[in-house]
Amino acid sequence: MQSFICTTCGQAYAPSDEPPTACRICADERQYVRASGQAWTTLEALQRDHKSDIRQLEPNLTGIGATPSIAIGQRALFISQPGGGVLWDCTPLLTDDAVAQIRMLGGLRAIAISHPHYYATMVDWSEAFGGVPIYLHADDAEHLTRPDDRIVHWTGETHDLGQGLTLIRCGGHFAGGTVLHWAGGMGGDGALLTGDIITVVPDTRWMSLMYSYPNLIPLPARTVRSIAAAVDPYPFERMYAAWWDRVSDRDAKARLARSVERYIAAIS
């Protein structure tokens, strides 16, 4: 048996002899099934014709993506720390090169993920580092497609990962939608790693928030304000969303405040 991976969203499923009849993540109104129909791949197949794209983004922060791009095209972020770092979000592709790079940077002690669209091959990533815990918010447990004993369903509004790393439940895109505050980011001024719970848009002076990005379903004003309120207690000057070019490199907290007001004015 092998774990099949949806080619549209990159979600891995529990090992089976045959692929599932449908992807539950893509059937949800926040995602979509391609016009050509449901299709599947495996990690082994991806490893044959893809390579890890590994880039240092700032001191102690490394991006890990894939070339050519896979599914949604997100890249993971690895924060290196003494005693082992934390991997934020996952990509479907896991390679020996990525494992070697993380080990060279001090190893991995935990994985944390923003929401179900980026669960990807998280179990394989955990296994590659000896079974490190995978932190997912309990509010999204119904969307899990590959259960595993290493998954920790945390509850509440925040969870301390230690060494200046804090998970913050924002909701919005998903009920358990989470961002990661890195106190040591940007030389100690703080960074927020957001997946697309809060996304940096192509004009990187601005952010946006959506219930569904591909299907263009907005969030109500009260939810947008609650997301901004959830991250307000934390200092951050930089924001890393889910893709290489979606980084707000300075004044990110002030830019988020302006973006929230612009968003609410537009939907009102």
Q: Which residues contact 115 (CB under 8 A, 6 or more apart)?
A: 140, 173, 174, 176, 177, 178, 195, 197
pLDDT at site 193: 99
The first and second tokens of residue 133, run together, are 């815990």
Q: Are the C-beta atoms of 80 and 233 separated by less than 8 Å?
A: no
pLDDT at site 164: 98
pLDDT at site 11: 97
CATH of the domain at 252: 3.60.15.10
- Residue found by looking up tokens 């309120």 in the block: 229
Q: Which long-range CB contacts under 8 A does 36-39 form with residues at least 24 apart?
A: 38/6, 38/8, 39/6, 39/7, 39/8
Q: Which residues contact 78 (CB under 8 A, 6 or more apart)?
A: 61, 62, 63, 64, 85, 86, 87, 88, 102, 105, 108
Structure pTM?
0.97
Q: What is the DSSP letter of 173?
A: S
- Residue found by looking up tokens 């998970």 in the block: 167
Q: How many domains does the chain have?
A: 1
Q: Find the helix packing angle between 252-267 and 221-231, rounded to 10°.
A: 170
Beta-sheet strands, E only, within 172-250: 178-182, 191-195, 199-200, 207-208, 210-212, 217-218, 238-241, 247-248
pLDDT at site 244: 98
Q: Are the C-beta atoms of 164 and 210 separated by less than 8 Å?
A: no
Q: Are the C-beta atoms of 242 and 196 separated by less than 8 Å?
A: yes
Which portions of the chain are predicted below pLDDT 50? Answer: none
Mean residue pLDDT across the chain = 98
Range of the domain at 258: 4-267
CA dihedral of 258, 169, 230, 239, whole degrees rounded to 10: -40
The first and second tokens of residue 142, run together, are 């119904």
pLDDT tens readout for residues 97-144: 999 999 999 999 999 999 999 999 999 999 999 999 999 999 999 999
Rounded Cα–Cα distance for residues 203 and 2 (Å): 41
pLDDT at site 21: 94
